[in-house]
Amino acid sequence: MKTVLSFTNSGLHENKWSRFLLHSLFALLLVVSVSSCGAIKPVEDPEKENDYSLHSFSFDASINGAAGMTSSSLVRINPKSNLIYFTVNEGSDLTKLIPTVTSGEGTRIYINGAPVESGKSVVDFSETSTLVLESEDGRINKYLICGKTGNRAIDDAVYNLMIRYDIPGVSISANVDEELAYSYGYGFANTVTKERVTPNHLFRLASISKSQTALCIMTLIEQGKLKLSDRLFGEGGIFEEELGTDLVDGAENVTVQNMLEHASGWKGEHIFSNYINGSAVLRGKDVLGRMKYVVQNVPLTYQPGTRYSYYNMGYGLLGEVVKKISGKEYEDFLREDVYAKAGVKDIWCGGDQFHRRENEVVYYSQDGRDGYGNDMELIQSLGGLIASGPELMKVMASIDYGTKVPDILSKETLDVMYTPSVASPGQYSKGWRTNHTVFTNWENYHGGNLAGTATLWYRSTDGTAAVILCNSRNYESYFDTALFDVLAVIQKNVKNL
């Protein structure tokens, strides 16, 4: 006789043979699950049994006894990249720290290939370290650890920025009363080689370059070779020979001052775009070639000097003014005639990925933008310079009316450079932003935005100045606000170091 099991809409039907079979199966399962003492073993949670995730990572001051280490360390973990950032107080010995690491039961802990007993083993964290958590069945979680000494409040702001906005590497430097007071690198200059950022790494400055170009122009004015009122186009203009005299209406009135203050009268991106009205008329042209087309074909939107309209092309042309009036290449004039007086040496015009300087970071793209898509030679005077944080702080100390460090421009020239334009109104001077609505004691500041690059620097009435340099740019709406917030934390804490 066959055993029959059948399912219908009314449920399970069974005969005596099927009942016997079900009872037998139940008995067999009971025997398998009973231990030798007769107790039923609970079903193990395989996730709990094999938990080898990182629960916590810290340095307890009472264990480490590190000099100046008065509280637990600052640790931030980026779960997206398995990166651990930490800061211990100044005076702590990074070569002799005892980490407390917690994970699942039975997890084996290794740092830099050596087994570690949590809360007991002494580890050298002076270089990038590797943490491996290995489960009992051989599976692993791997983390990279970037540790440093420093100020916890400042570093917390930097770490949060890096994690929130996917920034691989950051450099910050800050002055107090014209002296460098805080300068550190964070994360990676190169994510492939794991080269760590140092304060002396070079970063693209993006539009902070405009402040440097303004210094070149003001230097030429002090040398008596140029005036703010000098006209750029048309008969008697600086570029009469190169650009001709057949101009759109009003172009003959544009001055050096108008370009410095973004009040040229033109509106649009004539340096970054090859297209005007859908036609690739600017493709392959250098700065003067582009400006020639603009000045002869693109009508002014406003009368020169009457309205503010941020115009990158204007600062591209100011770089050409520097070259023509000085008789030197833009980079040479900047280094020899401007920054040599401040002892600044490591500032350059940047190049593409094939011409990266030895101490320059790599730039990382986000949101589909190409971090190496810009022609750095074309934009050198408006966004193409590279420099380190400490060198920029030397620059700031030499243009701040201070007494410890001699200024490279006279007070009268600095007054002219920093005076807000009537066209802005009052929000932009000559290569500098002014009158911030939140940070009201920031006398001057400027930010920078290129694919793969984000920068911001300021100088304040309280005697502080600071810069943040990033080797990536995020395009979420609050990213630029986050840069301001980091500098605000630096300003709040740097005077107490």
> What Å distances lie between residue 48 and 40, 44, 337, CA to CA?
20, 8, 67
Asked if pLDDT for residue 26 goes beyond 90, the answer is no
Cα(268)–Cα(276) distance, rounded to whole angstroms?
Answer: 9
Query: What HEC string does the chain produce?
Result: CCCCCEEECCEEECCHHHHHHHHHHHHHHHHHHECCCCCECCCCCHHHHCCCCCCEEECCHHHHCCCCCCCCCEEEEECCCCEEEEEECCCCCCCCECCEEECCCCCEEEECCEECCCCCCCECCCCCEEEEEECCCCCEEEEEEEEEECCHHHHHHHHHHHHHHCCCEEEEEEEECCEEEEEEEEEEEECCCCEECCCCCEEECHHHHHHHHHHHHHHHHHCCCCCCCCECCCCCCCCHHHHCCCCCCCHHHCEHHHHHCCCCCCCCCCCCCCCECCECCCCCCCHHHHHHHHHHHCCCCCCCCCCCCCCHHHHHHHHHHHHHHHCCCHHHHHHHHHHHHHCCCCEEECCCHHHCCCCECCCECCCCCCCCCCCCCCCHHHHCEEECHHHHHHHHHCCCCCCCCCCCCCHHHHHHHHCCCCCCCCCECCCCECCCCCCCCEEEEEEEEECCEEEEEEEECCCEEEEEEECECCCCCCHHHHHHHHHHHHHHHHCCC
pTM of the full predicted structure?
Answer: 0.88
Tens of pLDDT, residues 406-460: 999 999 999 999 999 999 988 999 999 999 999 999 999 999 999 999 999 999 9
Regarding predicted confidence, which is higher, 306 or 43? 306
Tens of pLDDT, residues 340-389: 999 999 999 999 999 999 999 999 999 999 999 999 999 999 999 999 99
Contact 160, 149 (CB under 8 A): no
Q: Which amino acid does the sequence have at 387?
A: A
Helix axes 209-222, 411-418, angle to 10 degrees: 140
Asked if pLDDT for residue 163 goes beyond 50, the answer is yes
Q: Which range, of 45-59, 188-202, 213-227, averages the lowest pLDDT?
A: 45-59
Quickly state the pLDDT bin for 257 (edges 50, 70, 90): very high
Mean of all residue pLDDT scores within the chain:
90
Instruction: Name the region of 64 (left: φ>0; alpha: ψ -120 to 50; beta: rest).
Output: alpha
Asked if pLDDT for residue 65 goes beyond 50, the answer is yes
Cα(132)–Cα(107) distance, rounded to whole angstroms?
Answer: 10
Beta bridge partners of 174: 182, 466
Asked if pLDDT for residue 34 goes beyond 60, the answer is no
Asked if pLDDT for residue 1 goes beyond 50, the answer is no
What percent of the chain clears pLDDT 70, i.e. is strictly above it? 88
Asked if pLDDT for residue 62 goes beyond 50, the answer is yes
Tens of pLDDT, residues 292-323: 999 999 999 999 999 999 999 999 999 999 99
Tens of pLDDT, residues 199-231: 999 999 999 999 999 999 999 999 999 999 999
Asked if pLDDT for residue 16 goes beyond 80, the answer is no
Tell me, what's the pLDDT at 44?
47
Tell me, what's the pLDDT at 426?
87
Tokens of 50: 């094999």
Tell me, what's the pLDDT at 360?
98
Contact 93, 69 (CB under 8 A): no
Exposed, middle or buried: residue 120 (CB in 10 Å: 0-12, 13-18, 19+)? exposed
Tell me, what's the pLDDT at 28?
37
Strand pairing category for 347-349 and 203-204: unpaired
Contact 144, 80 (CB under 8 A): no
Tell me, what's the pLDDT at 138?
93
Cα(279)–Cα(229) distance, rounded to whole angstroms?
Answer: 34
Asked if pLDDT for residue 41 goes beyond 80, the answer is no
Cα(99)–Cα(119) distance, rounded to whole angstroms?
Answer: 6
Tens of pLDDT, residues 81-103: 999 999 998 888 999 999 999 99
Tell me, what's the pLDDT at 73?
77
